[in-house]
Amino acid sequence: MPKINKYVDIDTVERESKKDLIDRHSPFITVLGDAKKSEMLSVNVRMGQEYTHPDDFDHFIESITLFNGETKLAAASFIPGTLGNEKSHAEVTFNIRPMSNKLNLIAHGYCTKHGIWESTPVVVEVAE
């Protein structure tokens, strides 16, 4: 099993290079709208908030995966050059249909050079 790196609040980190490494590799989840049972819900996952990630042949974000707890909901894969070979934020919006009363959303981003990075969990209450 590969090591899974977890987000650390960059405000607590002193070295700028460490802040850059943590932020640009961490997935951030944003739920768009209100969650209602059996209705489509848009969930955006963006790699990095403050710092952009390279899009080089040997160093890029290869995939973003969204989970509800341990259940895989969706995944998106990228190839080098998807972001125009420019430093950027890999980003994807998944449309899911919640069927339970609560979602425990977690995202993984995979960097070809620095491995798997896990988001902070986002708990979503789902209305009937």
Q: Which residues contact 3 (CB under 8 A, 6 or more apart)?
A: 115, 116
Residue 6 confidence (pLDDT): 85
**CATH number 3.40.50.10090 is the correct assignment for the domain at 4-125:** no
Residue with tokens 């707890």: 69
Instruction: Write the pLDDT tens digit of every residue in 76-109.
Output: 999 999 999 999 999 999 999 999 999 999 999 9
Residue 22 confidence (pLDDT): 87
Position 125 confidence tier, pLDDT thresholds 50, 70, 90 = very high
Half-sphere exposure of 51 (CA within 13 A, CB side): 14
Please write down the HEC assignment for all residues of the chain. Answer: CCCEEECCCHHHCCCHHHHHHHHHHCEEEEEECCCECCCCEEEEEEECCCCCECCECCECEEEEEEEECCEEEEEEECCCCCCCCCCECCEEEEEECCCCCEEEEEEEEEECCCEEEECCCEEEECEC
Residue 1 confidence (pLDDT): 61
Residue with tokens 């491995």: 115
Residue 20 confidence (pLDDT): 78
Domain boundaries, the chain: 4-125
Instruction: Write the pLDDT tens digit of every residue in 18-76.
Output: 777 888 999 999 999 999 999 999 999 999 999 999 999 999 999 999 999 999 999 99
Residue 18 confidence (pLDDT): 73
Q: What is the pTM of this model?
A: 0.90
